[in-house]
Amino acid sequence: MHLPHDAALLRVFIGESDRFEGRPLYEAIVLKARELSMAGATVLRGPLSFGRSSRMHSAKVLRLSDNLPIVIEIVDSQERIDQFLPVLDAMIGSGLVTLEKVQVIRYGDGATA
């Protein structure tokens, strides 16, 4: 797969406990991105966050949270990201979605896996 030098980075900020059709939302989003042959997606779990409600979510041992922050990053061409946005919108109830332009320096190393 070819990824253009000028691409887009889609970031989706949700909670770990968010669900879609019986599975974790972050998993459903990544599986849908893969099904649609997006260039790639990564899920990051954060130790601390707050959002619109100003409620703190923390991974501290003495203050266990059942809803730690999750960030999903998807990089692809602007056109492919634009096509994915309506699909994503249908999956997400609440959360934050951001989009920014990025320059792809390297995509893959030429080795087969």
Top-confidence residue, 20 or 4: 20
Checking if the pLDDT of 5 tops 60, the result is: yes
Contact at 8 Å (CB) between 102 and 75? yes
Q: Are 99 and 13 in contact (CB under 8 A)?
A: no
The pLDDT value given to residue 108: 75
What pLDDT is attached to residue 113? 53
Topology adopted by domain 6-103: Alpha-Beta Plaits (3.30.70)
* pTM, rounded to two decimals: 0.83
**Structure-token pair, residue 100:** 């920014």
Q: For 34-80, write each residue's pLDDT tens digit.
A: 999 999 999 999 877 676 665 665 655 545 556 788 999 999 999 99
What are the residue ranges spanned by the domains of the chain?
A: 6-103
Is residue 33 pLDDT above 80, yes or no?
A: yes
